[in-house]
């Protein structure tokens, strides 16, 4: 299983967002993990293609660090997001009124996947993100 430092570098990122109503959005872009402070700064940037054909630039940023034997992920402003053990890579995050649950898959490392299941009064989707080592176009 990967250690925190193993994520450092550039990744091609492909994401599918499968909504309960059968529609699908896609994201194609890049992600990078760069050393910062006591951990890694995660940044992703790319194009989000919506079900109706619209597309726009999208990006986000998190901080990953080691904490009590787990990988702790924080929002860009430092608020805790979730933590996971690379040997049992699942986690959850409650953002009232929505429930976010993630499962990471490192079996094909260095290719890896994050699957988020999001449910709430106005949210019901699964987001599947695939990461492959490299800086080339997705």
pLDDT tens-digit map of 106-132: 999 999 999 999 999 999 999 999 999
Confidence of residue 83 (pLDDT cuts 50, 70, 90): very high
3-state DSSP assignment of residue 74: strand
List the one residue out of 90, 85, 94, 87 whose CA is nearest residue 102: 90
Confidence of residue 137 (pLDDT cuts 50, 70, 90): low
Strands 123-133 vs 9-19: parallel, antiparallel or unpaired: antiparallel
Q: What single DSSP character describes residue 96?
A: T
Express each pLDDT in 85-110 by its tens digit. Answer: 999 999 999 999 999 999 999 999 99
Express each pLDDT in 53-80 by its tens digit. Answer: 999 999 999 999 999 999 999 999 999 9
As given in the structure block, the two tokens for residue 71 are 């990988």
């Amino acid at each position: 299983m990967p250690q925190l430092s193993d994520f450092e570098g550039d990744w091609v990122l492909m994401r599918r967002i499968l909504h309960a109503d059968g529609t699908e959005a896609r994201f194609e872009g890049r992600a990078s993990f760069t050393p910062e402070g006591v951990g890694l700064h995660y940044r992703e940037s790319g194009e989000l293609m919506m079900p109706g054909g619209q597309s726009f630039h999208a990006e986000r940023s998190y901080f990953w660090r080691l904490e009590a034997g787990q990988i702790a992920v924080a929002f860009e402003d430092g608020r805790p997001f979730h933590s996971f053990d690379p040997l049992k890579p699942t986690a959850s995050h409650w953002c009232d009124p929505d429930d976010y649950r993630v499962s990471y898959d490192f079996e094909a490392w260095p290719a890896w996947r994050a699957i988020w299941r999001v449910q709430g009064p106005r949210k019901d989707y699964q987001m599947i993100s695939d990461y492959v080592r490299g800086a080339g176009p997705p």
